[in-house]
A = this chain, B = another copy of it.
Amino acid sequence: MTKEAEVNTQSTTSDPDSGAPEAAVKDRSARYWIGFDLGGTKMQCTLFDESLKQIGSRRRRTKTELGVEGGLDRIAATISKVLDDADVLPSQLAGIGIGCPGPVEWSKGVVRVAVNLGWKNVAVGKYLEGKFNCSVTVLNDVDAGVYGEYAAGAAKGARTTVGIFPGTGIGGGCVYDGQILRGKHLTCMEIGHTKINGSPRPGGTGMAGTLETEASRLAVAGELAKLAYRGEAPNLFKTAGTDLGAIRSKTIAESIAAGDKNVERVVEDACEMIGYAVANTVLMICPDVIVLGGGLVEAMPDRFVKAISKYAKKNVFECYRDEFEVRAAKLGDDAGTVGAAAWAQKVRQQSS
Contacts and interface: CB of A to CB of B under 8 A. Distances in A.
Contact of A319 (B113, B174, B221, B317): B113
Given A195-B197, A276-B195, A288-B183, A320 B243 contact: no
A283 B190 contact: yes
Contact of A287 (B177, B183, B314, B317): B183
Nearest to A224: B222
Per DSSP, chain A at the interface is mixed
A242 B223 CA distance: 13
A156 to B, nearest CB: 15
A222 B223 CA distance: 7
Contact of A183 (B172, B229, B242, B285): B285
B199 A226 contact: no
A198 B198 contact: yes
A204 B172 CA distance: 26
Contact of A191 (B183, B283, B319): B283
A246 to B, nearest CB: 8
A241 to B, nearest CB: 6
A103 interface: yes
B222 A218 contact: no
A342 interface: no
A219 interface: yes
Contacts of A214: 200
Contacts of A286: 182-184, 186-188
A282 interface: yes
A281 interface: yes
How many copies the complex holds: the figure is 4
A285 to B, nearest CB: 6
Given A193-B316, A195-B197, 6 more contacts: A174-B284, A186-B323, A198-B209, A205-B283, A218-B229, A222-B225
A307 to B, nearest CB: 15
A241 B1 contact: yes
9 nearest CB pairs, A to B: A198-B198, A183-B286, A188-B286, A207-B315, A242-B244, A243-B243, A194-B280, A190-B283, A159-B184
B199 A184 contact: no
A176 B194 CA distance: 19
B320 A195 contact: no
Residue of A279, A284, A285 with most chain B CB atoms under a 10 A cut-off = A284
A181 interface: yes
5 contacts: A3-B242, A190-B283, A205-B315, A218-B230, A242-B244
A245 interface: yes
Contacts of A196: 195-196
Contact of A186 (B174, B188, B320): B320
Contacts of A194: 279-280, 283-284
A255 interface: no
